[in-house]
A and B are shown apart, each in its own frame.
Chain A
């Protein structure tokens, strides 16, 4: 029997991975935050290198905190034993030295009173302060396995018949009919079954259910594009037409389908149109046609300044609107394409000497700087792209128009910035770094995993999930082709074990 942790999302590990990425790539640009303990995630994992919470080398903030700096039950137990008598706040050095012995002292306790000791949960990678999260047995006993083989579903292993039905429902939107199911049951041999599953998947990947308007891929983009009918322009316009999000959905669908590079959601310098929806047919719009568009649907950013979906007219209209330093825009790009929600303190990679507060918004206050040391340098590359004010254009001198409202210093905000600890000269480079990052690949796979497997990837899925997102980046495997990745996703145990 294998003991693995349950109810612990790999998604929640992303915030801690941010530290790993930044730590490896940035080094000097990092600054310790006044209200957090940046060394904690690494120090925890140095004490428990084999913990399943430490696959990235960094534990997540939620190990000890609810919303940092507030502590959860485990954090409270730890705090009581951490260098007692030493004046607070502890220096980073004092914290790191005291941590191992304090952790040792509470290994036998059970912070969340779920019947499993802190140490057992640390090893399993389950949540230390949640009674609903505890180590689970994730493999069948021998007698279960033999009985399962006789049952209708093989719950102890990959069940091809089950997977066949799921593929039809998940990707084609319908149950297989009886003849199809019986024909599949007649296929013998693992290789032949896998081939048949692949063929079934290929048939569905071009279906209207998968790629059509309001199809599965389209709906994956909803939270990234955040359409609003009232301000839609173009076909089927709303009452106050400002931008046409059909361009965004079409580009998203294009990059996520066929033999195409999914990084184009952040790198494309072209637009795509939907020639027909059943059968689904998409094609790139010649740039001359884009330039000839009328006022309601124009895409004024010149091609060489475009960065996929984060420089479209819709993205600027709905996020940047009238702001000089469009933090909302950068935060949405970070959330949508890297999976990190700064509002939830995810993906914080503080940059020294930030924030400069060029627009006098008070973001330098300690309680604000916790996030703005990351967010502001992430935002600067967006400052040359106009929103509603300025007509969605690119303008190197854009910030001059904001002096009256935001003060004279606003024009000093640079168009260079820092993302994932890496300095970038502009938004095109920003998007390139983002698109080639681990968090981007994880986020792409995680989006599909949630829809197709039906839940967030959890600790027991770590090996398969990791293989998929690493494979997405690997030129010899999926090479950023979503459909290739999906062919392997449907062969995972997470997908095919009932």
Chain B
């Protein structure tokens, strides 16, 4: 809201500069965003919080300043000049729905003259960001800016039956509003009607039919109080926001309704825009009671955290218009001003006193007393560990947003349904991610296009699914890598190998070790986002908790990256559940290890997993560790054959092993490999 300083000062006896006013208002809660220069001096652009509808006017702002400066309250100027001539017209106002309209004032102005408003008024309107239209419209806008009360002017002769009926619209009633739009009203909306049909949407916008024009002779001026929630709902439903609805939905003081109408009549008269008549109606069926609140000065001191003498508190409240209805030893009963519906209970009064006295006086103290142990969440701790682990192997952490448009990569996601945003404003933000892949892919692609390397990223973030059970939200960790992950080096023997399936799988294994979940299973995946021969579902206890693989070449084509793109994703919450088991410590063996290599040759189609379980099946107690140190294929060992080198570590917890017993174990292992895997051994 913009108001010129000279206008505000009309109501506040102060010599303060515009900078001082801006600072004072800001520190009292009316934030001055900026001060703009205008023809009539500085103009303040004030942000009014949604609870302070009473400040949406020059008088409202002035009231705050007067409270701070301990000056008498500003009042709405009055002094209506009524033409002695009695008008030959009557107005009849009926409020049918008094729950939505507690007061309706109508005044009749005759001999309406179509002419512009005076220069001084136009300048104030322009400074406030409004366009001068004509005398009458400008006066209604001016009074709204001055008093906070929106007004509406009807062409009296266009009102059927000379009547105003305030009622809920009938089902299917329509009105063409001043913006030229035909609108269908519903039964929840309050309408201002003549004898036959709606002529305005109450508090929102007038209709074209009873609109004033250059030929209007008699004007009916409306000033009313409408129910804030009703106005807000109507304005939202019609998607029609106006200066009037903005103020009505923030509450307009019912006790100023008449004064604002009088003020408008005074200006109309003074500006020669018409003759104000004695014909008026003031329907005020429901008087809104002033809130009564008990205020304990001691409580104020407790809440604000320091001692404020009682007279200082009561003075601040009196300055704000709170009226004492009686004082007891430890409390005062206050009547709340009619323009402050936001003051509901004692704490609200404490805030009022506190802010007028000034928050700078609040001291700094630290809470004392027994309280909770400070700690991170279990998942927070685990995520921190995983982050550090993955970063240590060379992946850069990223954070991407969770909203995305449906796309190839998103559509191909195999699990559950996407959760859609209702009435999304743009397709880019139309749903929630089910996988971290699209976000990671975007970042990899963007950096690749900018020539930034390496392309190795990970993210820990929420993913969302709609399932038969409802909505699911879980924390996932995902990583993407393409091309060389290690930086280029001049050292010739540094391996400069490109990311592949095994790099992604290696990181999954790092994560599982960090979570103390050693027994993940990998099985062939049918996830269509990946290369069918180079992807795996990751299972934990038989349940799918993630995926690892090389991106399908068809998806890769959509991006600028030429190298193989590898990806993994894991459900962190399932991992943490599985990883919370306490590890039992087994005392360390004091005896030496014996390491033996075996190199079974098997058909290429036999997976390592099968070889591994054939070794484990024999399970000599002394076999401590199995490592695969080489996989070799080539014509030397036969077509469609591979040779695996397994390094087996033997150790006993209670004795030094002999060659003979290790050889015996090896023999058993070899025999089982021959039987289970049709393995052959050289020599």
Partners in one complex: no
